[in-house]
Amino acid sequence: MPSPLALAAAALLLLLLSVAELVAVWHAFRGSRWASGGMSLLFGVTLFALAALAGTVIVATRGYHALTKEDLAATVTTEPLPHQHFRATIILPGGRLAMYDLSGDAFYVDGYIVKWHPLVNILGLHAAYELDRVAGRYQAIEQERSAPRTVYLLREERPVELFRLRQRYAFLAPLYDAEYGSATFVQVLQPAELEVRVSTTGLLVREAKPQ
Window from 35-44, 148-157, 160-169 with minimum mean pLDDT: 35-44
Which of 32, 60, 88 terminates a domain? The answer is: 60
Say which residue, 207 or 201, is predicted with more confidence. Answer: 207
The three-class DSSP label of residue 188 is coil
How many whole angstroms separate alpha carbon 101 and alpha carbon 54?
A: 39
Domain boundary among 36, 60, 84: 60
Question: How far apart, in whole angstroms, are the C-alpha atoms of residue 30 and residue 22?
Answer: 12
Q: What is the pLDDT of residues 65-110, one digit of tens each?
A: 555 567 889 999 999 999 999 999 999 988 889 999 999 999 999 9
Q: What are phi and psi of 168, to 5 degrees?
A: -85, -35
Claim to verify: residue 56 and residue 77 sit in the same structural domain: no
Is the pLDDT at 40 greater than 60? The verdict is: no
Look at residue 138 in the predicted model and tell me its pLDDT. Answer: 97
User: For residue 45, what are the domain limits?
Assistant: 4-60
Q: Are residues 174 and 187 in the same domain?
A: yes
Q: Is 42 helix (H, G, I), strand (E, B) or coil?
A: helix
> Phi then psi for 60, rounded to 5 degrees?
-70, -25
177 and 120 in a single domain? The answer is yes
Please tell me whether residues 44 and 81 are part of one structural domain.
no
* 44 and 69 inside one domain: no
Q: Name the more confident of 151 and 210.
A: 151
Report how many domains make up the chain: 2
Q: Does the pLDDT of residue 130 top 70, yes or no?
A: yes
Give this prediction's pTM: 0.65
Instruction: Give Dmax (Cα) for the chain.
Output: 81
Q: Please, how many CA atoms are within 13 Å of residue 194, restricted to the half-sphere of its CB?
A: 27
- pLDDT tens per residue across span 164-199: 777 777 777 777 777 668 899 999 999 999 999 988
Statement: residue 34 has pLDDT above 80: no
Residue 211 is predicted with a pLDDT of 62
Q: Which of 34, 60, 86 is the last residue of a domain?
A: 60
90 and 189 co-located in one domain: yes
Mean pLDDT, rounded, for 35-61: 58
